[in-house]
A and B are shown apart, each in its own frame.
Chain A
Amino acid sequence: MTNAAEGDGMSTYRIQGATGDWEVVIGLEVHAQITTNAKLFSGASTKFGSEPNANVSLVDAAMPGMLPVPNGECIRQAVRTGMALGAEINRWSRFDRKNYFYADLPQGYQISQLYHPLVGEGSLMVEADEKAGIAAPKTIGIERIHVEQDAGKLMHDQHPTRSYVDLNRSGVALMEIVSRPDMRSPAEAGAYLRKLRSILRYVGSCDGNMEEGSMRADVNVSVRKAGEPFGTRTETKNVNSVRFVMATIEYEANRQVDVIEGGGTIVQETRLFDPDRTETRSMRSKEDAHDYRYFPDPDLLPLELSDAFLSECEASLPELPDAKRTRYETALGLSPYQAAVITADVETARWFEALLGETAVAQGKSEAEVAKTASNWLTSDLFGALNRLGVSIGDSPVTTANGAALLALVADGTLSGSLAKQVFEIMLETGDAPGRIVDERGLRQTSDTGAIEAVIADVMARNADKVAEYRGGKDKLFGFFVGQTMKAMAGKGNPAAINDLLKKALG
């Protein structure tokens, strides 16, 4: 098998056809809903799940004479997103009309940006993931980001002969983020989408909620023999989950290889993904349906951005996942795995940083000194519990303050590791502070030497024969004494102290 002789050359994902191996070439156009209160060109609300046609102004319904006025926040969030992707920001951009007729588009055109998009070239890096066949980190090019209006929603199953139109989504702001055809496997496309979603959520420009349609992808796929020029691509529209995007690529690449090897040719066309049957099919649209007759929207002047506007966009960017991950590894000493897991989603990273801050304060130490303890507890104990309960970290029954208090009780010797696990389970059930649980249920660890020595003396008196055996050389019995002492103390004895004192007492 030959690898494609090109710069990336990393992916070994191939479709095994009858005539040999085929390489898959993938580009994604992601439509991300910009998180704002109001729509792109009107003052109507963007709230999801409202009554039909409640969030519609006369602008969104395209009543004659209505004029669009852009929402500054939509522009700002798209610019910040571009900056987060290291992209060139165009200080001068313009809106164009994309003309087509459909029942969900009352204007008869979508206001978009074809000729002069707001954001130019940038890139995004996906991590190596050997299990997924991504051998090394890979940079995926981003060609452009433009701002455009979303369409309304159609419902076809409410009436035998009518379609119902809800314009609540009509005019909501979208960023269309167009990648270069740089991906070579379903896994790379999946990693790209997850990373993009992560960055959008850090920036705060899109909530990344694919179930509610806040992020959808048009998937461009073509196949070629290694080293040959790009094949003809198809575009599968509006795929709404990472899993479905990967399934679309897999299906479409295999279909194209079958068509070509069967003597056919690939037609450049728009297709639909059917999640129930895990297949794509042609949309069979009229041949001139894509004659969009773009032209500059005469209702809107060019968009010119000032230095002050751009500086504010730059200054308001948060620390982004790549930088955060590196800092967690270098400044906090976390393992690459933990740093990656904690920084993947902004909500987890925020939770961890709150926990870390509170843990450092509670123990009077620096964040770096407590980072490993805090991250271990977060990624094993808390993540395990949240998984079991099926809740996200945002809904964790344990607050960051209570998590920090629990770690502090372990650090100062109040709780042993096993007592801490007991207290943690009670925290999960009740949401109570660990200090209160320890007090109310008497779960405090005993490190009092005198008390432990008294128990040890008692255990030894009751097991004089075993003491003799131990002293006679049966070292293995040491564990027996630890167990007896621990049991006599109802699990609350400090294990380290018990060990030390037993060694002394048994001689």
Chain B
Amino acid sequence: MSVDLPTVRKIASLARIAVTDAEAAAIVPELNNILGWVEQLSAVDTDGIAPMTAVIPNSLRLRDDVVTDGNRRDDVLKNAPQAEHGFFAVPKVIE
């Protein structure tokens, strides 16, 4: 698997990462190196082996249905570039 320049530009745009043309050109071989390195894994025969999700036996823990959080609007809005009347205020987005 490998990526080309248009793919890199598209991924960057989908991820909302600003990338200059020069940076995008440099990223193509970097990503391809990483992909090539990871691709070595496909040399291992994994037929009939269930995918592993953790190296130790572990299962998803569930929480009880109890309200333990919230009522911390000041914390939540603290890092917002703009907040008004208890809302985040963002550039107008409307379909």
Q: Could you tell me which A residues sit within 8 Å of B by CB distance? A: 36-38, 42-45, 51-59, 61, 69-75, 99, 101-103, 154-156, 158-159, 161-167, 272, 283-285, 288, 291, 293, 300-304
| Whole-angstrom CA separation of A283 from B82 in the bound complex | 28
Main secondary structure of the interface of A (DSSP, over half): loop
Q: Do the beta carbons of B63 and A71 come within 8 Å of each other?
A: yes
**Which of B10, B63, B68, B70: most chain A Cβ within 10 A?**
B70
Q: How many residues of B contact A (CB 8 A)?
A: 38
Contacts of B84 in A (CB 8 A): 159, 162, 164
Interface 1/0s, chain B 58-95, versus A by CB < 8 A?
A: 11111111111111110111000010111111111111
Q: Do the beta carbons of B60 and A53 come within 8 Å of each other?
A: no
**Which of B53, B65, B82, B85: most chain A Cβ within 10 A?**
B65
Q: Do the beta carbons of A301 and B65 come within 8 Å of each other?
A: no
| Whole-angstrom CA separation of A403 from B75 in the bound complex | 53
Contacts of B69 in A (CB 8 A): 38, 42-44, 57-59
**Which of B10, B62, B75: most chain A Cβ within 10 A?**
B62
**Can you report 10 A-B residue pairs in the complex whose CB atoms are below 8 A from each other?**
A44-B70, A45-B67, A53-B76, A53-B87, A71-B64, A101-B16, A156-B94, A163-B92, A288-B10, A301-B60
Q: Do the beta carbons of B66 and A163 come within 8 Å of each other?
A: no
Q: Do the beta carbons of B62 and A51 come within 8 Å of each other?
A: no
Q: Do the beta carbons of A303 and B60 come within 8 Å of each other?
A: yes
Q: Could you tell me which B residues sit within 8 Å of A by CB distance? A: 10, 13-14, 16, 53-54, 58-73, 75-77, 82, 84-95
**B69 shortest CB reach to chain A, Å:** 4
| Whole-angstrom CA separation of A43 from B69 in the bound complex | 5
Main secondary structure of the interface of B (DSSP, over half): loop
**A206 shortest CB reach to chain B, Å:** 15
Q: Do the beta carbons of B65 and A36 come within 8 Å of each other?
A: yes
A44 touches which of B64, B67, B85, B92 (Cβ 8 Å): B67
Contacts of A103 in B (CB 8 A): 88, 90, 93
| Whole-angstrom CA separation of A173 from B54 in the bound complex | 26
Contacts of A71 in B (CB 8 A): 62-65
Contacts of A99 in B (CB 8 A): 14
| Whole-angstrom CA separation of A283 from B77 in the bound complex | 31
Q: Do the beta carbons of B90 and A165 come within 8 Å of each other?
A: yes
Q: Do the beta carbons of B63 and A70 come within 8 Å of each other?
A: yes
Contacts of B73 in A (CB 8 A): 51-54, 56
A-B contact count (CB 8 A): 135
Query: CB-nearest residue of chain A relative to B13?
Result: A288
Contacts of A161 in B (CB 8 A): 91-92
**A142 shortest CB reach to chain B, Å:** 25
Q: Do the beta carbons of A163 and B91 come within 8 Å of each other?
A: yes
Q: Do the beta carbons of B62 and A37 come within 8 Å of each other?
A: no
Q: Do the beta carbons of B67 and A162 come within 8 Å of each other?
A: no
Contacts of A56 in B (CB 8 A): 70, 72-73, 76
Q: A163-B92, A272-B95, A301-B53 are in contact. List 13 more A-B contacts (CB 8 A).
A: A43-B63, A44-B70, A52-B73, A53-B73, A53-B87, A57-B70, A58-B72, A58-B75, A58-B76, A159-B84, A162-B92, A301-B60, A302-B60
**A472 shortest CB reach to chain B, Å:** 82
| Whole-angstrom CA separation of A10 from B92 in the bound complex | 48
| Whole-angstrom CA separation of A165 from B80 in the bound complex | 11
Contacts of A166 in B (CB 8 A): 87
Q: Do the beta carbons of B62 and A69 come within 8 Å of each other?
A: yes
**Given A159-B89, A162-B82, A162-B92, do A72 and B53 touch, yes or no (CB 8 Å)?**
no
| Whole-angstrom CA separation of A74 from B54 in the bound complex | 24
Q: Do the beta carbons of B59 and A301 come within 8 Å of each other?
A: yes
**Which of A38, A59, A99, A103: most chain B Cβ within 10 A?**
A38
| Whole-angstrom CA separation of A163 from B91 in the bound complex | 6
Contacts of A51 in B (CB 8 A): 73, 86
Query: CB-nearest residue of chain B relative to A285?
Result: B95
Query: CB-nearest residue of chain B relative to A41?
Result: B63
Q: Do the beta carbons of A73 and B65 come within 8 Å of each other?
A: yes
Query: CB-nearest residue of chain B relative to A51?
Result: B86
Q: Do the beta carbons of A164 and B65 come within 8 Å of each other?
A: no
| Whole-angstrom CA separation of A71 from B89 in the bound complex | 30
**A393 shortest CB reach to chain B, Å:** 28
Contacts of B71 in A (CB 8 A): 54-55
Q: Do the beta carbons of B70 and A70 come within 8 Å of each other?
A: no
A165 touches which of B53, B54, B64, B87 (Cβ 8 Å): B87
Q: Do the beta carbons of B62 and A167 come within 8 Å of each other?
A: no
Contacts of B10 in A (CB 8 A): 288, 291
Contacts of A164 in B (CB 8 A): 84-85, 87-89
Query: CB-nearest residue of chain B relative to A293?
Result: B14
| Whole-angstrom CA separation of A163 from B90 in the bound complex | 5
Query: CB-nearest residue of chain A relative to B63?
Result: A69
| Whole-angstrom CA separation of A308 from B43 in the bound complex | 41
**B75 shortest CB reach to chain A, Å:** 7
**Which of A51, A53, A99, A158: most chain B Cβ within 10 A?**
A53
Query: CB-nearest residue of chain B relative to A35?
Result: B65
Q: Do the beta carbons of A304 and B65 come within 8 Å of each other?
A: no
